[in-house]
Structure 1
Amino acid sequence: MGMVNIGLSGVLANRVALNTTAQNTANVNTPGYSRQIVSFNATSSGNFVNGINLGGGVEVGSVIRIAEQSSINRLRESNELAQYSQTYFEGLSNLENMLGAEGLSLTSGLNNFFAAIDEASVSPESLAFRQQVLTNASALAQQFNAVSTQLNQQQAAQSERYGALVTNVNSQLESIAKLNTQLQEDALLGKSVSGLQDSMDKHLNELAKSVDIQVIYLESGGVEVSTPNGQPMVINGYSATLERDLSSGDPYSTDLNIQFQSMLTPVDASLGGEMGAIAALKTEQYEPIKALLNDMASALSTEVNTVLDGGYVLDGTQLNSPDSDLFIVTPGSEASSIAINPNLTPEKLAFAANPSAPGDGSKLTEFSMLSQKSLGIGSVAGKTLYSAYSGLLGDIGIFTRQAESESTAAQISLDDAQVIRDSVSAVNSDEEAASMLLYLNAYEANMKVISTANQMFQTLLQAF
């Protein structure tokens, strides 16, 4: 029965190989799937003829997952960088489009305001010209309000997106911890873990899109995951939980705490990925832009109100601040709160510097010069209102083009990493077709061995 057993071992082994090839072929279009190959081992004992050990056939040593760790790591790191770069570029593009949008440009608002001042200086006693100053001052204030509102809306959307990412990261960490447990159990039972390892790599890639991670691979096929500075995120079957820290009172805060087991600590590393990009946009773009707009609104109101302070209205009455103020603001939120003084009427604009000459336009001359005056407040110190805003637009344009270039480069790197990974691990239909024929021929040949052994046995029986 030696030939039968040997042939049977070949049939069984090649059937496993055929099933493996079929699995590969079925997953030719499955993202993240790693092809598998069968390792055959000759059975060295079990069939003796005339004292000679002819072997016992063949057995499947293992089903091997074809994967190269460095290419897997590179793909994960490229995913993180590409997502960071793309998110940062998208954020800057939205800012650039908003700040340059028609109706929101502060440059046009300043132009109209100072043009109204210049026209009023021709005939300071004209109620029509005075009303025009009030109208354009109100329009300029509303533009500040609108830009501030748009910034807050964009940042609120980013903050909401950030919160969703925190939830997604926690879900991914939990899934990775469960895979760790399952990998360990299946490895102990001798089961194939190739599919679980593919799932692990997919979860790690998805996690890396949201946040930069450090990964240590274990012999079981499981992983340990940590933040870039070593704070644990997954160990064995245990996963950490990220929590937003809004204790500062900032509704858009990107501060995080990480809880692992009973330990709660602040995340003190740059997160990278999509979450890192949102945090960077907040600190590098949104907060500086909002501070500059607040300083512009504060400087505008301060300078204009200073000019009007102590001036005389049409009936010769002198007005002092705050009664003479054209603009009112709320400290700390100047851009969103700036408005014209609701108590002012065209007659009460203190344009005159001389009580006996209500048509005096000297105050308006000072007004007009404000368009060229260097300011002395915060981030606009040493700049005019125009240069502060044009400088902001110029910087945003430069940053956006740079971010676009970096995003394009990161996407190219990601595509290259995917190609390298696939060149090792992806399924090739032509190779699988060739393997299918090879294993099928071997299967049929071993069936022929069994058939031949059966004929020999029948011939032997007929001799008696």
Structure 2
Amino acid sequence: MGMVNIGLSGVLANRVALNTTAQNTANVNTPGYSRQVVNFTATSSGNFINGVNLGAGVEVGSVIRIAEQSSVNRLRESTELAQYSQTYFEGLSNLENMLGAEGLSLTSGLNNFFAAIDEASVSPESLAFRQQVLTNADALAQQFNSVYEQLNQQEAAQSERYGAVVASVNSQLESIAKLNTQLQADALLGKSISGLQDSMDKHLNELAKSVDIQVIYLDSGGVEVSTPNGQPLVINGYSARLERNITNSDPYSTDLNIQFQTMVTPVDASLGGELGAIEALKTQQYEPIKTLLNDMAGALSLEVNSVLSGGYALDGIQLLSPDSDLFVVTAGSEASSIAINSTLTPERLAFSSTGQVGDGGKLTGLSMLSQKALTSGSVTGKTLYSAYSGLLGDIGIFTRQAESESTAAQISLEDAQVIRDSVSAVNSDEEAANMMLYLNAYEANMKVISTANQMFQTLLQAF
């Protein structure tokens, strides 16, 4: 019966190989699927004839998942960088479009305001020109308000997105921890874990879109996951949770804590990925731009009011600050609060330096403010115009740079995907060839069994 058993072992082994090939072929278009190959092992013990060990056929030693760890790691790292770059570029593009919008341009608002000042200097006693100054001052103040509000809305949208990504990260961490438990259990039972390992790589790639991670692969097929600075995210079947920390009273805060079992620690570095990009937009763009707008609005209010203080209204009455103020602001939120003084009327604008009708000495000082270097915070050494044009120029440069980096990161991601697929993806031609090879071997082993049966029948007929 040795020949029958040997042939049967070949039939069974090649049937496993055919099933494996069928599995590969079925998943030729499945993203993230790693092809599998059968490792045959000769069974050397079993049949002895005249003291010679003829072996006992073949068995399937293992079904191997074809994956090169370096290419898997590169794909995950490229995924993280591509998502970071794309998110940052999108945020900058939205900022550039908003700041350059025709109705929100502070440059046009400043132009109209100073043009009204210059026109009023021709006839300072004209109520029409005075009203025009008030109207354009009000329009400029509202443009500051609108730009700041639009900036707030963009930051609020990014903050909402940040919260959604944090929730997604927590879900992915839980899934990875559960996969760790299942991988360990199946590995101990000797089950194939190839499909679970593919699922693990998919979850890790999805997680990498949101946050930069370090991964240690375990012998069981599971992983340990941590932040770039080594803070634990997944260990065995336990996962951490990210929690937003808004104790600093900032509703758009990107501060995070990591809760791992009973331990709570603040995230001590940028997390990368989508979370890192949103944090960078906040700290490198939104907050500095808000500071600049507040400093511009505060400087505009201070300089204009300083010029008008002590001037004379149309009725010859001298006005001192705050009665002479054209603008009013709230400290700390200048851009969002700046408005014209509600007590002012065209007649009460203190344009005169002497109190005489037709004198517009203060208007000359107001006109000169368009070229005056400011001395307030982030706009120190700049004019109102150069401060805003510098902001637009910087945003344009940052956006083009981010676009270039995003394009390069996407190309790198595509290259990493090609390298991974060249090793792990299914090749239809190769599987077709394997199918023929294993089918021929299957039929040959069936022929061995048939021949053994004929030999046995011949032997029986001899008696």
TM (normalized to structure 2)? 0.99
1:375–1:383 contact (8 Å) kept in structure 2: yes
Aligned to 2:182: 182
- Report the alpha carbon displacement of residue 318 of structure 1 after superposing the two structures with TM: 1.4
Structural mapping, 1:316-327, within 5 Å = 316-327=316-327
Aligned to 1:398: 397
2:187 counterpart letter in structure 1: A
Counterpart of 1:32 in 2: which secondary structure?
Answer: coil
Distance, in Å, in 2 between the alignment partners of 1:3 and 1:170 is: 58
1:124–1:130 contact (8 Å) kept in structure 2: yes
1:129 counterpart letter in structure 2: F
Distance, in Å, in 1 between the alignment partners of 2:338 and 2:441 is: 84
Counterpart of 2:103 in 1: which secondary structure?
Answer: coil
2:91 counterpart letter in structure 1: G
- Report the alpha carbon displacement of residue 45 of structure 1 after superposing the two structures with TM: 1.2
- Root-mean-square deviation (Å): 0.8
- Report the alpha carbon displacement of residue 457 of structure 1 after superposing the two structures with TM: 1.7
Q: Please give the per-residue CA displacement for 1:23-54, whole angstroms capped at 9, x wherever unaligned.
A: 10111111111100000001101122233221
Aligned to 1:458: 457
Distance, in Å, in 2 between the alignment partners of 1:215 and 1:359 is: 78
Aligned to 1:255: 255
Counterpart of 1:436 in 2: which secondary structure?
Answer: helix
Q: Please give the per-residue CA displacement for 1:53-89, whole angstroms capped at 9, x wherever unaligned.
A: 2111100000000001111111111111111111111
Aligned to 1:96: 96
Distance, in Å, in 2 between the alignment partners of 1:197 and 1:322 is: 72
Aligned to 2:111: 111
- Report the alpha carbon displacement of residue 455 of structure 1 after superposing the two structures with TM: 1.6
Distance, in Å, in 1 between the alignment partners of 2:137 and 2:115 is: 11
Aligned to 2:304: 304
Structural mapping, 1:45-444, within 5 Å = 45-355=45-355, 357-444=356-443
2:257 counterpart letter in structure 1: N
Counterpart of 1:40 in 2: which secondary structure?
Answer: strand
1:119 counterpart letter in structure 2: E
- Report the alpha carbon displacement of residue 292 of structure 1 after superposing the two structures with TM: 0.2
2:457 counterpart letter in structure 1: Q
Distance, in Å, in 1 between the alignment partners of 2:133 and 2:448 is: 104
- Report the alpha carbon displacement of residue 332 of structure 1 after superposing the two structures with TM: 0.8
Unaligned runs of 5+ in 2: none
1:417 counterpart letter in structure 2: A
Are 2:9 and 1:13 aligned?
A: no
Distance, in Å, in 2 between the alignment partners of 1:348 and 1:195 is: 80
Q: Please give the per-residue CA displacement for 1:346-389, whole angstroms capped at 9, x wherever unaligned.
A: 1111111112x132111111110000000000000010000000
Distance, in Å, in 2 between the alignment partners of 1:451 and 1:337 is: 95
Unaligned runs of 5+ in 1: none
Counterpart of 1:257 in 2: which secondary structure?
Answer: strand
Q: Please give the per-residue CA displacement for 1:230-273, whole angstroms capped at 9, x wherever unaligned.
A: 11111000000000000000011100000111000100011111
Detail structure 1 runs of 4+ shifted over 3 Å in the superposition: none
1:131–1:346 contact (8 Å) kept in structure 2: yes
Distance, in Å, in 1 between the alignment partners of 2:198 and 2:15 is: 23
- Report the alpha carbon displacement of residue 448 of structure 1 after superposing the two structures with TM: 1.1
- Report the alpha carbon displacement of residue 404 of structure 1 after superposing the two structures with TM: 0.9
- Report the alpha carbon displacement of residue 463 of structure 1 after superposing the two structures with TM: 2.2
Aligned to 1:448: 447
1:312–1:358 contact (8 Å) kept in structure 2: no
1:419 counterpart letter in structure 2: V
2:415 counterpart letter in structure 1: D
Distance, in Å, in 2 between the alignment partners of 1:150 and 1:414 is: 33
2:86 counterpart letter in structure 1: Q
- Report the alpha carbon displacement of residue 461 of structure 1 after superposing the two structures with TM: 2.1
Distance, in Å, in 1 between the alignment partners of 2:338 and 2:455 is: 104
- Report the alpha carbon displacement of residue 462 of structure 1 after superposing the two structures with TM: 2.1
Distance, in Å, in 1 between the alignment partners of 2:8 and 2:317 is: 115
2:422 counterpart letter in structure 1: S
Distance, in Å, in 2 between the alignment partners of 1:447 and 1:179 is: 40
Distance, in Å, in 1 between the alignment partners of 2:9 and 2:50 is: 22
- Report the alpha carbon displacement of residue 205 of structure 1 after superposing the two structures with TM: 0.7
How many residues get paired?
463
Distance, in Å, in 2 between the alignment partners of 1:360 and 1:288 is: 41
Counterpart of 1:42 in 2: which secondary structure?
Answer: strand
2:430 counterpart letter in structure 1: E
Distance, in Å, in 2 between the alignment partners of 1:41 and 1:358 is: 110
Distance, in Å, in 2 between the alignment partners of 1:358 and 1:342 is: 24
Distance, in Å, in 1 between the alignment partners of 2:176 and 2:167 is: 14
Distance, in Å, in 2 between the alignment partners of 1:147 and 1:372 is: 23
Distance, in Å, in 2 between the alignment partners of 1:456 and 1:332 is: 100
Distance, in Å, in 1 between the alignment partners of 2:234 and 2:198 is: 18
Distance, in Å, in 1 between the alignment partners of 2:113 and 2:26 is: 69
Q: Please give the per-residue CA displacement for 1:405-449, whole angstroms capped at 9, x wherever unaligned.
A: 111111111111111111111100000000000001111111111
Distance, in Å, in 1 between the alignment partners of 2:422 and 2:319 is: 80
Counterpart of 1:311 in 2: which secondary structure?
Answer: coil
Distance, in Å, in 1 between the alignment partners of 2:357 and 2:307 is: 16
1:313–1:358 contact (8 Å) kept in structure 2: no
Aligned to 2:3: 3
Counterpart of 2:32 in 1: which secondary structure?
Answer: coil
